[in-house]
Copies of this chain bind each other. A is one copy, B any other.
Amino acid sequence: MSGNTFGDLFKLTTFGESHGPGLGGVVDGCPAGIPLDEAMIQLELDKRRPGQGGLASTARKEADRVKILSGVFEGRTTGTPIGFYIENSDQRSKDYSKIKDVFRPGHADYSFNAKFGFRDYRGGGRSSGRETVSRVAGGAIAQELLRAEGIAVYAYTVELGGIPANDFDFESAQDRPYFSPDADIITAWEERIKDVKSQGDTLGGVVEVRATSVPAGLGEPVFDKLDARLAYALMSVGAVKGVEIGSGMNASCSLGSLNNDPIGPDGFLSNNAGGVLGGISSGQDIVARAYVKPIPSIAQEQSTVTTTGEPTAITIGGRHDIAAIPRINPVLKAMVCLTLADMLLMDRRLGVRD
């Protein structure tokens, strides 16, 4: 509620700023007995590490080595809170000094200042995308709980810079550049990135997240619908401006007879619902998509004002990504893992399957 804790039963609380000593978090509510070590978390962190994103990513170098501080004993979770910490190794504060007194368009600067009265201007402080490193670590812990239940979660890019993928091999996507489910589209995406970069501009895209082998019954019928929780989770990631489930936006211009998923003796005959009916998982794959806006830090000149309201112009250079994709993919995956872990524990107490 106060905004730095995610989840009600499987809870992740995070802390840390872009240019402080480091970032970390606490996972509270993870059941005892789940296998966990630092390598499991590191695997996910490495996916969002600066420099791993192909042409689209910043040159900032961060080792992003996670250290588990508590909650694990002899290789298993103990049921007590799991603290973790990732040191900031590369804090070139001077890069950011010129933005100290200017609001960057498309950034949190203006609204953050309005809220708190002052701000840590170094690299966005708490509003920096770097904050998501704690989400990925927490999501990796959630993933181990889901794994123990047979659930798997995938994030992959279905559109980049307006160019959609045509193949959707989400398992292979995990090892491809841009987490692309379509091997043949990668060249087109890279050309688009190069072109936009040369103009000092940035671009967006669409990421799909899919969870397989989710049992029917997760989610609550009214406010805490599974899809409502997923929308909250995905939209809480900076740069996401739209979220849809299953047929999503397209459902709005479809017909009931086309959008309903008929049921046969072997199960549902289609999945327009995206695996959620009445807010509760149906046993089909959960399918959600996040629409990601272009990175606001562009190398072109933009009109803005100073913190005292004087008009000025700003050109942002420096070590910035061209697109939030693909580094946002493991973050979105983490948010879905955290949501499903939370709803899974929620269901354990109310459902009848126990």
List residues of chain B with CB within 8 A of the CB of A263. Answer: 103, 105, 110, 303-305
* Count, chain A residues at interface, CB 8 A: 151
Contact A203 B283 (CB under 8 A): no
Nearest neighbor of A232 in chain B, beta-carbon distance: B232
A212 within 8 Å of B (CB atoms): no
List residues of chain B with CB within 8 A of the CB of A11. Answer: 2, 5
Contact A253 B159 (CB under 8 A): yes
Contact A251 B126 (CB under 8 A): no
Alpha-carbon gap, A25 to B278, bound state (A) = 20
The list of the 7 closest CB pairs from A to B, nearest first, reads A108-B278, A3-B220, A117-B352, A15-B83, A232-B232, A202-B256, A242-B244
Alpha-carbon gap, A350 to B348, bound state (A) = 10
Q: A259 contacts which of B23, B126, B294, B351 (Cβ < 8 Å)? A: B294
List residues of chain B with CB within 8 A of the CB of A282. Answer: 110-111, 114
List 6 A-B residue pairs with CB atoms under 8 Å apart, sorted by A's residue number.
Answer: A3-B28, A80-B126, A114-B280, A115-B352, A231-B231, A348-B349
Interface string of A154-173 (1 = CB under 8 A from B): 00000101100000000000
Q: A114 contacts which of B29, B217, B259 (Cβ < 8 Å)? A: B217
A51 within 8 Å of B (CB atoms): no
Alpha-carbon gap, A262 to B298, bound state (A) = 12
Interface string of A76-104 (1 = CB under 8 A from B): 10111111010000000000000000010
CB contact under 8 A between A228 and B236, given known A69-B20, A248-B241, A273-B106 = yes
Nearest neighbor of A230 in chain B, beta-carbon distance: B235
A183 within 8 Å of B (CB atoms): no
Alpha-carbon gap, A206 to B32, bound state (A) = 36
List residues of chain B with CB within 8 A of the CB of A336. Answer: none
Contact A293 B108 (CB under 8 A): no
A281 within 8 Å of B (CB atoms): yes
The distance from the CB of A93 to the nearest CB of chain B, in whole angstroms, is: 12
The distance from the CB of A340 to the nearest CB of chain B, in whole angstroms, is: 14
List residues of chain B with CB within 8 A of the CB of A351. Answer: 115-117
The distance from the CB of A349 to the nearest CB of chain B, in whole angstroms, is: 4
CB contact under 8 A between A8 and B1, given known A78-B120, A107-B277 = yes
Nearest neighbor of A274 in chain B, beta-carbon distance: B241
Q: A111 contacts which of B110, B246, B280 (Cβ < 8 Å)? A: B280
List residues of chain B with CB within 8 A of the CB of A206. Answer: 252
Q: A116 contacts which of B78, B225, B246 (Cβ < 8 Å)? A: B78
Contact A256 B294 (CB under 8 A): yes
Contact B221 A3 (CB under 8 A): yes
CB contact under 8 A between A79 and B116, given known A3-B220, A111-B217, A228-B236 = yes
Contact B347 A115 (CB under 8 A): yes
Please name 12 further chain A to chain B contacts, defined as beta carbons within 8 Å, in addition to the given A111-B277, A259-B296, sorted by A numbering.
A2-B29, A22-B69, A32-B116, A73-B120, A112-B280, A115-B218, A204-B259, A205-B252, A241-B244, A241-B252, A251-B293, A263-B304
